[in-house]
Amino acid sequence: MDKPWEIFSFPYWNLYDKFRLGMLTLDIDVRGGIPKFDTYEQLSDFEDVPVEEFAREHTTPNVYETFFEPLLDAKFGSRKDDVSAAWLLGRIKFRGERDMLRGEILGYLDGGFGRLLDALINAVGRENIESNTRVTDIQTVDNEVTGLTAERENETGESVTESHNVDSVVVATMPNVLEDLTGYSCDIDFQGTVCSVISMEESLLETYWLNIADDAPFGALIEHTNFIEKERYGGEHLLYVARYIQSPEEEVWQQTDDEIRETWLSGIESLFPEFDRDSVNWVRTARNPRTAPVYERGYLDMVVPYDLGDEVADEVYYAGMASSAQYPERSLNGGIVAGSEVADRIVDK
């Protein structure tokens, strides 16, 4: 369901179900029978409200059980009961801005996001960037940052350790790296992802992005070449298969690449009986233990401040995934906002 009219033709809802979801999407609170137009303006007002309680109260139990709950299961798994209503409301408000007739408007950089990185490198100056280099320590003296230690490989493949004097340090990583470098501890939990790209001779879906509400080993199927023409990829049809992981103990996380291939293809066959696995050219799988935050209740109390002068040392800043710019949903735009916030603070000092 991509467009509003497709959502409201969903056969499992009666007219009242569709009305209540529609009002929520339009930012209109109709509880009590009198419409209110400012109830959802501040997402933080719903920070401590359980997501199920919110969805049942602001739509209907049937909308929750047939629509929201399956999506929450796919996204958060065993952690869904911890999720804040602010996260769900943020997603609804964002999706509610889509065009009524055409649905959500998507864009893709011609040539991929590598072009954005190239432009940033050119703007900063390639001579000012050290790639393939890992910062291993940040030094402070009398509550002021003084230097950092970095490791890199030289031309012969040997590890080289270097020390640099610095005036400011911006950490734009996951919070576990921030803790390793500075000792600052963040309590935000992160979920992992197992994601594969499947190359096929034939198209599988009629749409670009399909969230899975059925019982399946994956949470989403995204046929990239239904968005960007297959001719750019040698005529191959490319399908992303993704699943969020809440614990490294989950079976899919522990599977080998060959086992994951079999899990995905069997799951696709169960949903699409006409699927022919002989049309598969190759499957490539990647895993990431920290893909996205778990937006649980109390999340705002755990975000890492931009300026860590009081917590770590003067001129130490944070612009990573645990910053407030990535609330109530992570995004590339949030990363840009966090970087701008930190840059402004450095300039102002």
pLDDT digits (tens, 9 = 90+) for 100-122: 556 667 888 888 889 999 999 99
Length of the chain: 349
Least confident range from 113-117, 267-271, 311-315: namely: 113-117
- Fill in the DSSP letter of residue 328: S
pLDDT tier, 218 (very low <50, low <70, confident <90, very high otherwise): very high
pLDDT tier, 92 (very low <50, low <70, confident <90, very high otherwise): confident
All residues at 6 or more sequence positions from 152 whose CB lies less than 8 Å from its CB, including other chains: 130, 132, 133, 134, 159, 160, 162
Q: What is the pLDDT of residue 306?
A: 98
Average pLDDT over residues 236-246: 98
- Whether the full predicted model's pTM is greater than 0.85, yes or no, is yes
Adjacency order of strands within the sheet including 209-211: 209-211, 220-223, 237-245, 190-200, 280-293
CA–chain centroid gap for 196, Å, is 16
Backbone angles phi, psi at 310, to 5 degrees: -80, -30
CA–chain centroid gap for 231, Å, is 28
Average pLDDT over residues 82-106: 78
How would DSSP label each residue in 34-46? S-BSSTTS-GGGG
End-to-end CA distance of the chain: give it in Å, rounded.
49
d(CA 205, CA 223): 7
All residues at 6 or more sequence positions from 318 whose CB lies less than 8 Å from its CB, including other chains: 170, 171, 172, 178, 184, 304, 305, 306, 308, 342
| Whether residue 96 has pLDDT greater than 90 | no
Adjacency order of strands within the sheet including 133-141: 133-141, 144-153, 159-165
Q: What is the pLDDT of residue 38?
A: 85
Query: Which residues on adjacent β-strands are paired with residue 240?
Result: 197, 222
Percent of the chain whose predicted confidence (pLDDT) is above 70: 95
d(CA 224, CA 226): 5
Give a three-class secondary structure readout of 208-235. Answer: CEEECCCCCCCCEEEEHHHCCCHHHHCC
d(CA 173, CA 5): 40
Helix axis angle for 15-25 and 85-95, nearest 10°, is 90
Q: What is the pLDDT of residue 78?
A: 94
Half-sphere exposure of 95 (CA within 13 A, CB side): 16
Q: Cα-atom radius of gyration of the chain, to the nearest Å?
A: 23
Average pLDDT over residues 237-248: 98
* Ordered structural domains, the chain, with CATH: 4-95 (no CATH), 114-189+296-348 (3.50.50), 190-293 (3.90.660.20)
Q: Which residue has the higher pLDDT, 3 or 317?
A: 317
Strands (E) in the chain, as ranges, are: 133-141, 144-153, 159-165, 169-171, 190-200, 209-211, 220-223, 237-245, 280-293, 316-318
Query: Which residues on adjacent β-strands are paired with residue 287?
Result: 194
pLDDT digits (tens, 9 = 90+) for 128-156: 999 899 999 999 999 999 999 999 998 88
- The encoded tokens of residue 173 equal 């990583």
pLDDT tier, 95 (very low <50, low <70, confident <90, very high otherwise): low
Q: What is the pLDDT of residue 97?
A: 60
3-state SS class at 343: helix
Q: What is the pLDDT of residue 272?
A: 97
d(CA 28, CA 20): 9
pLDDT tier, 7 (very low <50, low <70, confident <90, very high otherwise): confident
Which of these, 243, 266, 289, lies nearest to 74 by C-alpha position?
243
pLDDT digits (tens, 9 = 90+) for 156-197: 889 999 999 999 999 999 999 999 999 999 999 999 999 999
Q: What is the mean pLDDT of the chain?
A: 93
d(CA 92, CA 139): 44
